[in-house]
Amino acid sequence: MQFKTLIFVLWLSRTKFQKRLLFLRLCAKITKYAIYNSFGSSTTDKFDSKLSDIDLLVEIDVPDPIERGDKLLSLWDTFESFFHRKVDLLTDSSIRNLYLRKSIDSTKILIYDGKRS
């Protein structure tokens, strides 16, 4: 896995080494997800470590819509607990607005890919 040196990664690197390991383990437990730090202030210099939320684009390989929804809710709750802040989750299939898609695509950063690990 490769981390890119942007604001989100800098925020993670300021945390304790154990916290980073915990994040990697958390991601490894969720092997069917590719998780992106996708858009918003967490990928820019406008990120405020005390106030900003974290926006994630999540791909889930679960065809059953009920199971998919359960996994999304569980993932959302897990990441809000881990980061101690508000987390917004979007799935690729939920983005229908072309302007929003363009904005997300221009700033998204891969932070973990369970399909490759």
> What are the structure tokens assigned to 54, written together?
């974290």
pLDDT at 48 (0 to 100):
83
The radius of gyration of the chain's CA atoms, rounded to the nearest angstrom, is 14
Q: Which CATH code fits 7-113? A: 3.30.460.10
Which carries the bigger pLDDT value, residue 109 or residue 18?
A: 109
Q: Is 80 exceeded by the pLDDT of residue 116?
A: no
pLDDT: which is higher, 1 or 49:
49
Q: Give the pLDDT confidence score for residue 44 in this predicted structure.
A: 77
Write down the domain spans for the chain.
7-113
Using CA atoms, how far residue 35 sits from 50, 78, in Å, is 22, 13
pLDDT in tens, 50-98: 888 988 888 877 788 898 888 888 888 888 988 889 999 988 888 999 9
Which among 43, 46, 58, 57 is positioned nearest to 12, based on CA atoms? Answer: 43
- Give the residues across from 109 on adjacent strands: 37
